[in-house]
Amino acid sequence: MMIGITHLHTTLRYAVVVALLLTLIQALMAKNGKKTFSKGLDRLTLMSMILVHIQLLLGLFLYFTSGKVLFTDMAIVMKNPILRFFTVEHILGMLIAITLITIGRVKLKKIPQDAAKLITYYGFTELDF
Ligand code: HEM
């Protein structure tokens, strides 16, 4: 099971990268006015967030079971590049990334007054009244 979860966690990185790249491109296009807020962007940000949260759960399982993570002697961990990477650097970097992705998604959901969003969901804007 450990090997299966490691493979799943390792392979899912490609899905994460593709989803985040697509989200970034769509968000930049929306920011530059080349595209309005769309259901596509909404679904894409949701998909990215779900994928990184699955990575988080799998990562947490691996963190407490992997032989590449050691808590007992930090002097040994910090001298060994592999142990240091998985015990300290990987989890820290990924937790920061997952937090930022989650904040981005929450911020996007908090723009109900956005006219473009109203057009997408309800088919009208305030200007139509
Ligand atoms: C988007 C988030 C993440 C991505 C894309 C990601 C990606 C990866 C990749 C590609 C590997 C394989 C590295 C290799 O063997 O060369 C890996 C391993 C690992 N990851 Fe993550 N990771 C993420 C989040 C996390 C988090 C949040 C944790 C801890 C809570 C974590 C813990 C681990 C551990 C312990 C391993 C080593 C597994 C082993 O081979 O024994 N990961 N991760």
pLDDT of residue 128: 47
Nearest CA to ligand 1 atom 9: 10
Cα–Cα distance measured from residue 120 to residue 37, given in angstroms and rounded to the nearest whole number: 7
When mean pLDDT is compared across 36-40, 78-82, 99-103, 123-127, the lowest value belongs to: 123-127
How many angstroms separate the first and last alpha carbons of the chain? 59
- In this structure, the residues whose C-beta lies within 6 A of any atom of ligand 1 are 6, 9-10, 13, 16, 52, 55-56, 59-60, 62-63, 66, 68-69, 86, 90-91, 94-95, 97
Residues 105 and 45 sit within 8 Å (Cβ to Cβ): yes
Nearest CA to ligand 1 atom 26: 59
* Closest residue by Cα to residue 40 from 32, 29, 52, 51: 29
What are the pLDDT digits (tens) for 96-110? 999 999 999 998 887
pLDDT of residue 36: 66
When pLDDT is cut at 50, 70 and 90, the band that residue 129 belongs to is very low
What are the pLDDT digits (tens) for 40-63? 888 899 999 999 999 999 999 999
Region for residue 45 given its phi and psi (left: phi exceeds 0; alpha: psi -120 to 50; beta: otherwise): alpha
Nearest CA to ligand 1 atom 20: 59
Nearest CA to ligand 1 atom 1: 52
**Centroid of ligand 1 to alpha carbon of 28 (angstroms):** 28
